[in-house]
Amino acid sequence: MNPDPNPDPEPTCNVWYRNYQWVLQDCYCRPIQNECLMDMENSRRAEDGLKPLVPVTEDLCIHFIPEKCPVGIPVVALFPVPAACGCNRKRGSIESKQFYSFNHLLKFSAENRKPFLSWSYTWPINMDLH
């Protein structure tokens, strides 16, 4: 068998695989869905000249969840929702939620043990924010 002459430069991660990784992102607690997604996020951060994520335990991470967050630019994030059967690795759905700021997103994600897949700034402000 010959290797693929055009291999995928980025490994594809199964976003439905739940094996939470707890990290500090710029001193904020953040759960990430699995190791593969954490590695991809760290690669992206390195390309953007940002500090790497710092792997920690969940018990340590929760001490880095802020009590309050400053209002900033609103963001929208995508969250994986497990399949109805609760089966790990099986395709589920994607849920979109809006937040007052990126810090509010990080706080919600860590407090609720809900890793997000991606986020972006949003405008106009929707009053149904978290």
Parse the chain into domains and list their residue ranges. Answer: 21-121
Report the pLDDT value the prediction gives residue 91, as an integer from 0 to 100. 95
Kindly give the residue spans of alpha helices, DSSP state H, lying in the chain. Answer: 35-47, 58-61, 102-111
What are the tens digits of pLDDT across the range 32-74?
999 999 999 999 999 999 999 999 999 999 999 999 998 899 9
Give the pLDDT of residue 129. 58
DSSP state string for 1-29: -PPPSS--SSPPP-TT----EEEEETTEE
Q: How many CA atoms lie within 13 A of 76 on its CB side?
A: 10
Indicate yes or no: pTM above 0.95. no
Looking at residue 7, what is its pLDDT?
45
Q: Which of 86, 49, 114, 87 is nearest to 106 (CA)?
A: 114
- Tell me, what's the pLDDT at 119? 96
How much is the pLDDT for 64? 98
| Rounded CA separation 107/130 (Å) | 10
Q: Which of 45, 28, 42, 52 is nearest to 110 (CA)?
A: 28
pLDDT at 109 > cutoff 90 = yes
